[in-house]
Structure 1
Amino acid sequence: MHRHELSDREWDLLAPLIPRAVTGRPRVDDRQVINGMIYKIRTGLPWRDLPDRYGPWQTVYTRFRRYALSGVFAQALQQIQAKADSAGDIDWLVQIDSTIVRAHQHAAATGRKGGGVSDEPDDHTLGRSHGGLTSKIHLACDGRGRPLALLVTAGQRHDGIYAQPLLECIRVPRLGPGRPRCRPDHVIADKACSSRAFRAYLRKRGIGHTIPEKADQQRHRHNRGRQGGRPPAFDRPIYRRRNVVERCFNRLKGFRGIATRYDKTATSYEAAVSLASFLLWARSV
């Protein structure tokens, strides 16, 4: 086994989830191709520069693109979460946050104006930021720092806008009968998510939350006197655990293809993040 390749245990977890062709000529070994994808994401090198041991780079790229469009890696991520949940291995103290990712010049050459397709946003989730073209990864992780749900947006999008959609992306299937688990026990977030609408959404779903209040919200409440109401509850010891999501980002950005976006399309980049998230789970269960 070469560096950055799947161990036997990781392959045993992923192999049943890879679609297999029932007709046609024999194809390049699945494990060899998946190892090529992981090597590319881990190192950030161009597809054309893949080592020969992974087979033709066109084969690796074509299969990666096919899996990205069909959501194979997102489904694999859900399946490994389901196994962990059935074993009681998920800590439902959920933390949410986001991180900015710089877009390489190769990712920026997308012809972003017009020409979008049905499964790809028109802007390819590339947006203008202080550092140029960027994307943003919005992430919800469990109490052990493993991704539960993710969204990729343009870099200038505000965290508060996507806090609710991000939580609604959490769907951990059951291995037996029953609906997927969608509701955390508790949510930790930073001040960017400290809106009355988001707090009301959490209360409506019966989700406890620890979110610090913004200074301007505090002043507004004080200025209203008794009509301002009580300050929202804030548990400082629980909030100290928010560093777990930062450590999760740190591990994800150990993949150079995640820390810098080289993919032109949002579909391919999100599939790469899902594959890296799967590997974080596979190495912890």
Structure 2
Amino acid sequence: MRFGPALALAALLLFVCDRDSPGGDGAARFLDAHAWARGEDWFGGFSALHLSADGGHATLLSDRTMVVEAQVHRDQDGRIIGLTPLSHWRPHASTGKKLTRAIADSEGLAIGPDGTLYISFEGVPRVARYARPGARAQVLNAPSTFRGLEGNRSLESLAIDARGRLYTLPEGGRDAQGRIPVYRRDAGRWQVVFSLPARGRFLPVGADIGPDGRLYVLERAVTLLGFRSRLRRWTLTETGAGAEIGAEETLLTTAVGTHDNLEGLSVWRDGEGALRATMVSDDNFMWFQRTELVEYSLPD
């Protein structure tokens, strides 16, 4: 989601809030937050994140259609102490042309076991496949699949499970019961396999299927004083009709100003076998915001 003037004001107010008291309510335990800053024009606006299984390599996606690969440096306790950019490239359309304006609003990222990249877009709702950096997009849905979703609050999140099936959910779209529909691509077609309960003012902005097979959803609420973040998860059970969710848990709910505008989420296991959630903030290319990578330890 790209911010207008009102939300930019909220972000500015966040800048002057106390940001030195990380943590929040829930079972997740705060580990660290690392601010990352660079001056190159490709840097910033990160809305999605994928970490390698060992947490040492990051793939980030900006909402201006830029994919960045970086090495993640950690200290002996596993905390992030720096990132070294390795490469960056700009995804193009299926025609090979540069993506511009509304069709360039890239928001969600998932990576298959073979390294294939999948990107969800918001302005014109769609999911595209990129076989390799620089390859032309293969759009994985018909124009009617996500018809009716609000342009600036559509496919913000994308995840992939161990069987290579993609999941996406809209930031603002709701079904007739006021729940959040989750689409899954199976056997070449998209369908709503289940819906998530919408609670309070939080909207989904990131998702991942963890190594434990559960669905994790990062949510954001914007207030006049800044951002709040919430992390929820559900178990997934296959059924004859598709899948169903169970055992909803709220792992984290932060106070206003705890972190910046967290949008990207990657769940993985560290060297001790413990679950971690790594999140990245979208600075909206505004000087008073910042890019930060935030990590929490999660219970099994």
TM-score, with length taken from structure 2? 0.26
TM-score, with length taken from structure 1? 0.27
Return the structure number with greater strand share: 2
Q: Which has the higher Rg, Structure 1 or Structure 2?
A: 1
Q: Which has the higher contact order (CA 8 A, sep 6+)?
A: 1
